[in-house]
Every structure is written in structure tokens, then in C-alpha cells.
Amino acid sequence: MNKKLVILAVVVLLLGLVAFAIWGGGLGGKKAAIQITTTPTAKVFLDDKEVGMTPFETESIKPGDIDLKLVPEDSSLTTWEKRLTINSNTRLIVEKQFNADIEKEESQILYLEKTNEKAKAGLTLVSIPDGVSVTVDGQMRGFAPVKLDDITAGDRKIVVSHPGYKSKEILTRALEGYRLVVEVKLAKEEMSTTDSQQETEDQPSEQSGSSGDYVVISDTPTGWLRVRMEPSTVASEAAKVNPGDRFLLLDEQSGWYQIEYEQDQEGWISATYAEKEN
């Protein structure tokens, strides 16, 4: 059993300040705001124009599509770029933690979308890696990507977690008439030497393929499961398999099973959505 200590990266985001109605004015009907924080400090470029350093905040953004680029002061770290859509009278929040190992980087983007449901507060959450578990106020609400039509307006605690990754806790506020959109990337958990030894003891199936073990694909939120070329969520997709499919288990690493998904074709699947059997 993996006994790693789960580290919660706690982010306090009072998105009750996001809506123009909550701001009580100040932006005008054709303005929006953006707030960016990074670790370490980075230069901020909007549509290829340098506008400052992080932490960066402005309330005079023209709504619409915008290209955001963050260039860390540490030249050994990789520049981050993303095209974003900023809605009128809302604040878009970007948080990014750089790392020399891209799998250990984490980020989140939060913003509000106005809806026609004036008496409801919604939530859409997408993630890297796929399939993180999503709880709202301690209640399991599914695996990302999730779209919830009503999470009830008010202060909410959202926790996202996935085996082998650092969990993230987001304290926020849901607003009636808006859908809170969360795009989150979790950082790969570092495994200590003790943890690695424990996993070796607990999972002696490095030669599990030769012992005749199999895995059966479990139900997934999408109705299928990606097979990847390597045991990583950033590895290329090799194929898709379906719930109920049964495959010979060739090898396993923390959170991943290697299978022969077709004759002489091998790949890796997330252990979250597979059950091992003899």
C-alpha cells in the first residue's frame, strides 16, 4: 500500500469578488480583470506585449480572446503560453508553479461564465491528468471532466486528487447566474526512497505478466480508457480500450499497468480504472 503523505496545495480564491455585481462597479460594462501569480517570478506578455512581472493584476482588459505568455526569470524553466477567453465584468485568475520537471509543474485557471440559470450556480472542471476525482464540500461529484448544473451559491470547498499526484484544495465562492470554470494541472508526487521500497514490497508484480495476472477495465467517466505509450499522462496515446475488456498484465509502475492491448502491441493504462485479477 502506498503510504505517501498527501500534500494539499491550498488556494484561497474569493471569487465572490469576480462578478461585476459583487465588485459594485468600477470596471464599466466593457472591461474585465486578470490576476496572475507565479512561482518563481515571471514576465507577463499579453498578445506578445510585455506588460509587467508577477504578481500581476489589471482591471482594464478588453473582453475577448487573449494570448497569455509567462516567461520565468529562471532561464532554466520553460515558458508557459495559453490562449484564454476573458468575459466582460469578470476576473480571470491564473496561478502557475514552474518546475524544471514539467510533470511536477502545477497550474490553475479560474473564471466565471454567465448562464441563463439566474437561480443556479454551476461548475465545470477539467484537469491534467484526466480523471481526477472531484469533491465539493466533502461530497464526491465525479471524475474530471465534470459539469455540474447546480452546486448551490455560497462558499464552496473543491478538492481534486489523483493517485501519484499532489492533491489541490480550492476554497471559492459560487454565484447564482454564473458557472465557475476551473482548469487545473496537478503536480506529480515525488516518491521518497522509503516510499519506493514500500511499493516494491507491496507490489511485487514487476514480473506479473509471467505469473499470469490480468487486468479488467473498470467503468470510466468517458466510457473508454486511454492506452498510452509510456506510464505518463503526457505520453502519446496508443489506443482506447473499453470497460469490461480484459488484458494480460505485463508490468506495473506506481499508478500504471502495462498491457498487451492488441497482439504484439503494448501500452500503459491508469490503474485507477482497472482491476487486477489472477
Compute the distance between CA of residue 246 and CA of residue 212 in angstroms, rounded to an integer. Answer: 12
- CA dihedral defined by 199, 235, 99, 127, rounded to 10 degrees? -90
Low-confidence ranges of the chain (pLDDT < 70): 1-29, 191-212, 278
Residues in the chain: 278
Q: For domain 203-277, which architecture applies?
A: Roll (2.30)
**Residue extent(s) of CATH 2.30.30.40 domains in the chain:** 203-277
Q: Which pLDDT belongs to residue 182?
A: 93
C-alpha cell read off for 170: 480550492
Q: Please tell me the chain's helix, strand, coil percentages from 3-state DSSP, rounded to the nearest 5.
A: 10, 50, 40
C-alpha cell read off for 84: 484564454
**DSSP labels, 57-100:** EEEEEPSEEEEEEEEESSTTSPPEEEEEEE-TT-EEEEEEE--S
Compute the distance between CA of residue 264 and CA of residue 10 in angstroms, rounded to an integer. Answer: 45
Q: Which pLDDT belongs to residue 100?
A: 92
Identify whether the C-beta of residue 267 lies closer than 8 Å to the C-beta of residue 229.
Answer: yes
Q: Which pLDDT belongs to residue 40?
A: 95
Show the DSSP H helices in the chain as ranges.
Answer: 20-23, 193-202
Q: Which pLDDT belongs to residue 56?
A: 95
Q: Is the pTM of this model over 0.75?
A: no
